[in-house]
Amino acid sequence: MRQFASSGFRLWNLGKEAKVLYSAFCLLTLLGIGSSALYYVDLVGVGTRGVRAYYAGDAAPAGGASAPATGAGEGAAGPTIDIPDDVERGQPIVVAMTYRKLLEVTHFHLFTMPVVLLIIGHLFLATGLGERAKFVWLVAASTSVAAHLATPWLVRYGGSALAFLHAVTGTALTLTMTVLTVYPLGAMWRPRAAPRPDAATRP
């Protein structure tokens, strides 16, 4: 931490052991970003239909009409059971995510995502990128993390029409976190030309 606090410190000045450690962290973080994307695609699918169903409980309308249930047969004696059309067509019952479940998911991510952002943000700050570019990327990453954590609540309580925000913020989060992770890796291991011996004596 003393190295990060020193003025003018850059990642390429780290020792080989530290570079290996930070590189392992960056690579594992990249795997985490990729696995999260795959998990969400598997969970809610591609597009907004799955997000609307998963968070807001919106069942997608299915085509085709089905005949009403009439019990054992036409004119048969005994009670009849009303079965929802979606269930009769073999579609699962879709229920909106509960407040407790939303709170549980948000609670877990609020204790993990900021920590990852803090670590890779410090690595990103120690690169040779311009100060303005660093500021823009760090603000974009912080905003996308916060917005993506908020989208389940927006979709659940603001309406399923906001489901597109989940894909937008998820894409922004993936892009910005990938840049904050990959760029330090390149800066850390990129060969640097050794300073010329007479550089310090030039007038």
**5-17 pLDDT tens trace:** 555 678 888 889 9
Residue 54 has pLDDT above 90, yes or no: no
Average pLDDT, the chain: 79
Q: Of residues 36 and 91, which shows the higher confidence score?
A: 36
Cα–Cα dist 2/152, whole Å: 39
pLDDT band, residue 4 (cuts 50/70/90): low
In terms of domains, do 74 and 155 share one? no
Ranges 53-57, 193-197, 198-202: which has the least confidence: 198-202
Coil, helix or strand for 165?
helix
In terms of domains, do 19 and 83 share one? no
In this structure, is residue 200 part of a structural domain?
A: no
Model pTM?
0.71
In terms of domains, do 100 and 73 share one? no
Q: What are phi and psi of 64, to 5 degrees?
A: 90, 145
> Domain limits at 165?
13-58+96-191
In this structure, is residue 78 part of a structural domain?
A: yes
In this structure, is residue 141 part of a structural domain?
A: yes
**DSSP H or E stretch at residue 121:** helix 113-125
In terms of domains, do 145 and 76 share one? no
In terms of domains, do 103 and 130 share one? yes
Q: What total number of domains does the chain contain? A: 2
Task: Give helix 164-189 / helix 131-158 axis angle, nearest 10°.
Answer: 150
Please tell me the predicted confidence (pLDDT) of residue 140: 97
Residue 3 has pLDDT above 70, yes or no: no
Q: How much is the average pLDDT of 134-141?
A: 97
In this structure, is residue 1 part of a structural domain?
A: no
